[in-house]
Amino acid sequence: MKIIVCVKDVPDTESNIRITHDGKGIEQESVTFILNPYDEFAVEEALRIKESIGGEVMALTLGLQSAERVLRACFGLGVDNGILIRDDNFTNDPFLTASAIASYLKNISFDILLFGKKGVDLNYGQVGVMTAEILGIPSVSAITKLEIGKSKVLCHREAEGNVEKLEVPLPAAFTAEKGLNEPRYPSLKLKMQAKKKEIQVVEAQKTDSRINLVKMEYPPKRPEGKIIEDNPEAASKLVDFLHNEAKVF
Amino acid sequence: MSIFVFAEQKDEEFKKFVYEAISLGRGFGDKLGMEVTVSAVGNNISNIVQKLKDYGADIINIVDDPSLKNYLPELYTDILVEQIKESGAKIVILGSTSIGLDLASRIGAKLEASVATDCINIELEDGQIIAFRSIYVGKAIGKVKFEKEPAILTLRTNVFPIIKKEGKGETVTKELNKDLSQTKIVIKEIIKSSKVKKDIEEAEIIVSGGRGVKGPEHFSILEELATLLGGAIGASRSVVDSGWRGHEDQVGQTGKTVSPTLYIACGISGSIQHLAGMSSSKYIVAINKDPDAPIFKVADYGIIGDLFEVIPKLTDEIKKVLT
């Protein structure tokens, strides 16, 4: 089975985000980049499928040359090979990203395409499903389980409190939700071996911008709150605040 | 030329964002001289669409068919894209729900447009739509412009006001003219949640528990408070990872993003990942033994104390006020 996992590296959420002077991006120096948390579930699922029924796992990313670091991180987890679709003018525009990935994949044969549900940096959550739509293959987003059959798979999707069990013919794409699996830790041995692995690089097919990030701003700061030690009057004071000031009830 | 809203429904009730979206659309419609077209797709929905007129719907498209009872991405996408093109929509609005995000992505692909998801504000600038989106785990807001029409957006629930302003309310019943045999995805089973629960994203009040609650059985104290206030229960990631609550209760970066009027965080330390999911709450109350818990930095009101003592006292005081 050939599985392709589309991954992205994102600022570690513990990192302090500093907006650049022109307001169009974030300062890169103080930021630690990690494999997008939702992509970890996708990579893990790909590796499990390979371990259970055999096959090959390829990691794919799109961006500047420096984006290859995320492919190396995937090698450290056990991914077989990696491809960078290089775009020196990468703007995180979801349709552009999906188009570039689809342009590359339309000439590649694969069985399963996996993505994380969304990138925790820009919170778009579209690339997986969009790529599948452009390729004309079925897709299911936010899956919490995947069972591989011969030419079809059964997946679970949690939507609005219900669990949907869906049968999908291959080739198909899926985006991973938390709970799909428990991602493994990288292995030092694999990380060392990864240094020798070659990463294939292709140039991204360009298309016109669809969405433009004009400016980034910090959210308004919340005013300082009233923090008190618990005492016999604390509860009634809080209720007074909620009822008379906040008027919540 | 119109403003187009997808009226997502669940169990024959429209999702809360639908009313917020129609109100928003009505406002833009009045400014731009456009009609508000609302699209209702499902089964047994013909009798619930009337109320959409009260919030500003001018044209209400209804596709009512048993095969549409559950969300089937291929069918819903085809229906919506056809309607969007027919109505000459300049703006398309869906909800930031599980279905909304999935459907918006498909519509975007078909219309070759990117979607502004998780919008917390939308403005008109020189007749063009500007969307403000939550990014970088809630640490920044991204102002985006669309290079193509229609502008497709998903709204965060509980952020935009619901305003009653009547629209024309003309209903248009459309036949389901799709070949069902062509759909590739098959629904084998749907397991409905056994508990009748409010969607946490729609709750006005959330009482949320973290590791400080010490076990699933102690959530009953929070549930009593939530029930009294007519609210929902939320949970931190570690509570969900420990199996004390289901993932549908999780608030945070890998859970839900909520924007209630009141968020009561009980025994939650307030990690960045958790704050990402609730920092746009109107009022935040925190109860925690640890005075250094980061949650106190975002709380409007906090009590440093043992939640097992504080919450029952709080519940009693609220009962006094409500009776």
Q: Give residue-wise pLDDT tens across range B42-67.
A: 999 988 999 999 999 999 999 999 99
In this structure, the answer to whether residues B45 and B176 fall within a common structural domain is yes
CATH number at residue B226: 3.40.50.1220
Distance separating alpha carbons of residues B190 and B188, to the nearest angstrom? 7
In this structure, the answer to whether residues B152 and B273 fall within a common structural domain is no
In this structure, the answer to whether residues B164 and B19 fall within a common structural domain is yes
pLDDT band at A238 (very low <50, low <70, confident <90, very high): very high
- Taking CA atoms, what residue in A is nearest to B252? A120
Question: Which residues in A lie closer than 8 A to residue B135 (C-beta atoms)?
Answer: 121-123, 216
Contact A178/B at CB under 8 A: yes
- Interface touch B188/A179, C-beta < 8 Å: no
Q: Residue B27's Cα: distance from chain center in Å?
A: 20
**Inside any domain, residue A17:** yes
pLDDT digits (tens, 9 = 90+) for A91-131: 999 999 999 999 999 999 999 999 999 999 999 999 999 99
pLDDT band at A29 (very low <50, low <70, confident <90, very high): confident
pLDDT digits (tens, 9 = 90+) for A34-84: 999 999 999 999 999 999 999 999 999 999 999 999 999 999 999 999 999
| Confidence at residue A36, expressed as pLDDT on a 0 to 100 scale | 97
| Confidence at residue A30, expressed as pLDDT on a 0 to 100 scale | 79
- Taking CA atoms, what residue in A is nearest to B182? A138
Q: What angle do CA B201, B206, B210 make, to 5 degrees?
A: 105
Compute the average pLDDT of residues B268-272. Answer: 95
Out of B149, B182, B215, a domain closes at: B182
- Interface touch B185/A140, C-beta < 8 Å: yes
Shortest Cα distance, chain B CAs vs residue A196, angstroms: 33
In this structure, the answer to whether residues B25 and B168 fall within a common structural domain is yes
Shortest Cα distance, chain A CAs vs residue B168, angstroms: 31
pLDDT band at B122 (very low <50, low <70, confident <90, very high): very high
Give the A:B interface size as CB pairs under 8 Å: 255
Mean pLDDT, chain B, whole residue set:
94
**Inside any domain, residue B232:** yes
- Taking CA atoms, what residue in B is nearest to A230? B305
Q: Which of A122, A139, A236 sits opposite B135 (nearest CB)?
A: A122
Q: Please check the confidence at residue B311 and state whether its pLDDT lies above 90.
A: yes
Question: Which residues in B lie closer than 8 A to residue A133 (C-beta atoms)?
Answer: 77, 105-106, 109-110
In this structure, the answer to whether residues B150 and B238 fall within a common structural domain is no
3-state secondary structure (DSSP) of residue A129: helix
Question: Which residues in B lie closer than 8 A to residue A169 (C-beta atoms)?
Answer: 184
Q: Please check the confidence at residue A88 and state whether its pLDDT lies above 70.
A: yes
- Interface touch A95/B112, C-beta < 8 Å: yes
Compute the average pLDDT of residues A141-164. Answer: 91
- Taking CA atoms, what residue in B is nearest to A16? B139
The token duo for B130 is 């500007």
DSSP-derived pairing of the beta strands A9-11 and A33-35: antiparallel
In this structure, the answer to whether residues B243 and B137 fall within a common structural domain is no
Domain holding A184, by residue range, is 2-203
Contact B46/A at CB under 8 A: no
pLDDT band at B256 (very low <50, low <70, confident <90, very high): very high
| Confidence at residue B179, expressed as pLDDT on a 0 to 100 scale | 83
Question: Which residues in B lie closer than 8 A to residue A124 (C-beta atoms)?
Answer: 114-115, 117
**Inside any domain, residue B303:** yes
pLDDT band at B199 (very low <50, low <70, confident <90, very high): confident
Question: Which residues in A lie closer than 8 A to residue B291 (C-beta atoms)?
Answer: 227
**CA dist B106 → A67, A157, B84, B110 (Å):** 27, 17, 13, 6
Distance separating alpha carbons of residues A166 and A117, to the nearest angstrom? 17
CATH number at residue A152: 3.40.50.620
**Inside any domain, residue B295:** yes
Mutate to test the interface with A, among B139, B182, B242 (most CBs of A within 10 A): B139
**Inside any domain, residue B100:** yes
CATH number at residue B137: 3.40.50.620
- Ranges A7-16, B58-67, B187-196, most confident: B58-67
Question: Which residues in A lie closer than 8 A to residue B280 (C-beta atoms)?
Answer: 219
In this structure, the answer to whether residues B58 and B140 fall within a common structural domain is yes
Contact A217/B at CB under 8 A: yes
At A36, give phi and psi (nearest 5°). Answer: -50, 125
Among A123-132, A159-168, B162-171, the range scoring the smallest mean pLDDT is: A159-168
Domain holding B210, by residue range, is 200-322
Q: What pTM does this model have?
A: 0.94
- Interface touch B321/A138, C-beta < 8 Å: no
Report cis status (omega within 30 of 0) of the bond before A186. no
In this structure, the answer to whether residues B284 and B255 fall within a common structural domain is yes
Contact A135/B at CB under 8 A: no
**Inside any domain, residue A225:** no
**Inside any domain, residue A245:** no
Q: Which of B261, B272, B316 sits opposite A14 (nearest CB)?
A: B272
Question: Which residues in A lie closer than 8 A to residue B116 (C-beta atoms)?
Answer: 211
Question: Which residues in A lie closer than 8 A to residue B136 (C-beta atoms)?
Answer: 11, 17, 26, 121-122
Shortest Cα distance, chain A CAs vs residue B229, angstroms: 8
Distance separating alpha carbons of residues A145 and A45, to the nearest angstrom? 9
Compute the average pLDDT of residues B201-215. Answer: 96
**Inside any domain, residue B194:** no
Question: Which residues in A lie closer than 8 A to residue B300 (C-beta atoms)?
Answer: 222-223, 225-226, 246
Contact B110/A at CB under 8 A: yes
| Confidence at residue A14, expressed as pLDDT on a 0 to 100 scale | 84
In this structure, the answer to whether residues B137 and B217 fall within a common structural domain is no
Q: How many domains does chain A have?
A: 1
In this structure, the answer to whether residues B126 and B239 fall within a common structural domain is no
Q: Which of B118, B283, B316 sits opposite A246 (nearest CB)?
A: B283
Distance separating alpha carbons of residues B235 and B209, to the nearest angstrom? 5
- Taking CA atoms, what residue in B is nearest to A173? B185
At B203, give phi and psi (nearest 5°). Answer: -70, 140
Question: Which residues in A lie closer than 8 A to residue B185 (C-beta atoms)?
Answer: 138, 140, 166-168
In this structure, the answer to whether residues B251 and B105 fall within a common structural domain is no
Shortest Cα distance, chain A CAs vs residue B262, angstroms: 7
pLDDT band at A167 (very low <50, low <70, confident <90, very high): very high
**Inside any domain, residue A230:** no
pLDDT band at A146 (very low <50, low <70, confident <90, very high): very high
**Inside any domain, residue B189:** no
Q: Please check the confidence at residue B197 and state whether its pLDDT lies above 80.
A: no
pLDDT band at B195 (very low <50, low <70, confident <90, very high): low
**Inside any domain, residue A74:** yes
In this structure, the answer to whether residues B135 and B231 fall within a common structural domain is no
Q: Quick one: what percent of chain B has pLDDT higher than 90?
A: 88
Question: Which residues in B lie closer than 8 A to residue A100 (C-beta atoms)?
Answer: none
- DSSP letter for each residue of A150-213: SSEEEEEEEETTEEEEEEEESSEEEEE-TTS--PPPP-HHHHHHHTT--EEEEEPPP----EEE
pLDDT digits (tens, 9 = 90+) for B15-29: 999 999 999 999 999
Compute the average pLDDT of residues A161-182. Answer: 95
The token duo for B28 is 């833009």
**Inside any domain, residue B83:** yes
**Inside any domain, residue A241:** no
**Inside any domain, residue A54:** yes
Full 3-state SS string of chain B = CEEEEEECEECCEECHHHHHHHHHHHHHHHHHCCEEEEEEEECCCCCCHHHHHHHCCCEEEEEECHHHCCCCHHHHHHHHHHHHHHHCEEEEEEECCHHHHHHHHHHHHHHCCCEEEEEEEEEEECCEEEEEEEECCCCEEEEEEECCCCEEEEECCCCCCCCCCCCCCEEEECCCCCCHHHCCCEEEEEECCCCCCCCHHHCCEEEEECHHHCCHHHHHHHHHHHHHHCCEEEECHHHHHCCCCCHHHEECCCCECCCCCEEEEECCCCCHHHHHHHCCCCEEEEEECCCCCCHHHHCCEEEECCHHHHHHHHHHHHHHHHC
Q: How many domains does chain B have?
A: 2
Shortest Cα distance, chain B CAs vs residue A198, angstroms: 31
**Inside any domain, residue A214:** no
- Interface touch B146/A140, C-beta < 8 Å: no
